[in-house]
Amino acid sequence: MKNKKTLIIAITGIVVAFSFFRTFRHLDLSRSGSRINGILVSRVIDGDTIELSDGRTVRYIGIDTPEVREKKDNDWIYKPMPYAEEALAFNRKLVEGKVVNLEFDVQKKDIYHRVLAYVYPVRKGNFSNGVNIEDRMINLEMVRQGYAMIYTYPPNVKYAEQFLKAQEEARKDKKGLWAELEDGVIASSEAEKHIGLIKIVKTEVMDTYLSDKVLVLNCRDNFKVAIFRNNFSLFPIEAARSPDSYFRNRTIQVYGVLKEYKGSNEIIVNHPSQLEILR
């Protein structure tokens, strides 16, 4: 009887401690400064998103991977883009069930209340003066191995140049998703056949439209390229100041997810690396 009572007390203590730990860690984000160390990854959601043991979702800063799910009406269905499952598997291999450190940038959460972070797995059994030893940054490794594309969204641009360099090398070596993309460039006349997929599109800019929110490049075959104002600072000054003289009648190559919007096919560009002026 005494042993049973002791066991019940012990279990109760563990439950209380666990609840306290979850609550503490959840509230700790706003007071965490630039980092939180030593958190367990309980689940990998996709190539750029993970779930922590305290229930929070973390979105990797600076990168974007092919989606494994598609929203249909009000539900999400499992419909992986090409290379989405490979990106998920690689991310899972790197962090699932492992302890990680989180490094923050200017913004710590996005509009979906996900934590935004650079993620570093901790090497087991390696300590130096009581501080755990970090392995390579997962965000950067996903880009370096061709499982992710860079996704620069100011003001979280601390490592933007490192991401760009890693992507340039992955493209040059045709690693991961880049092998199919580089070998499968399409004309804008073919864009409609590839809605929802990541593609490299070659086209010609006919004219431009600039509003308070967005710059639109109107191209051949009812194809458009959209650049939102919050990303203008990443592009040459002339591109936003005099877009018509900068882009009009130029042949360009642009990559990204093809979408249908108001009767046109388009790609949203978040970084200059997505758009190349050929001539």
Active site residues: 59, 67, 114
Say how far apart CA 219 and CA 191 lie, in whole Å.
Answer: 12
User: Residue 58: CB partners within 8 Å, gap ≥ 6?
Assistant: 49, 50, 51, 52, 102, 114, 115, 116, 117, 119
Type and span of the H or E element at 9: helix 2-27
Nearest to 107 by CA among 118, 97, 96: 118
- Asked if residues 157 and 105 have their Cβ atoms less than 8 Å apart, the reply is yes
Residue 192 backbone zone (phi > 0: left; psi -120 to 50: alpha; other: beta): alpha
